[in-house]
Amino acid sequence: MIRSIYHDTLVSVITTKVDADDEVITPSAGVDMTGFDGVAFVCVAGKGEVGSLSMKAQQDTDSAFGTAADLEGTATSFATAVAADGICVLDIYQPQERYVRPVLTVPDFSTARPISIIAIQYGAREMPQTNTGEFHQSPDEGTA
């Protein structure tokens, strides 16, 4: 059996914002964990200014997140710098409820920063997963 991130995971964009500044970003949609063991939320915040961001995870039994609850101990912080993007990975393994989402707190920057959060669901019980992209096994050198 082929084992690769392309076949064994499901990658989706949770949110992208070009002008995040002094706000809490709470995506209305999270991920449905049916058929997966875990999810890693990867957040990237654009460089250009020093700032401290924080991310946590919430879960709910309903996809609308009407009764969303924070997951204990999941709050984590990361920073941007003048010359370096900020990146954070928040991994939730075997959540107790079906739907999970990230919540990102963005500081008051002097100039708004671009932010993206990607979800990588892993431990798929049914494969392969359908992702946009290509899989290559043992490619020869040459023109791409």
pLDDT at residue 3, as a whole number: 65
How many whole angstroms separate alpha carbon 128 and alpha carbon 125?
9
pLDDT confidence of residue 32: 96
Q: Residue 5 and residue 7: Cα distance in Å, rounded?
A: 6
pLDDT in the model for residue 129: 66
pLDDT at 131: 74
Tokens 């393994």 map to which residue?
93
Q: Is 71 exposed, middle or buried (0-12, 13-18, 19+ CB in 10 A)?
A: middle
Per-position pLDDT tens, the chain of length 144: 566 677 788 999 999 999 999 999 999 889 999 999 999 999 999 999 999 999 999 999 999 999 999 999 999 999 999 999 999 999 999 999 999 999 999 999 999 999 999 999 999 887 666 777 777 778 889 888
In the sheet with 10-20, reading across from the earlier edge strand, the strands are: 10-20, 113-122, 38-45, 86-93
Q: What is the pLDDT of residue 134?
A: 77
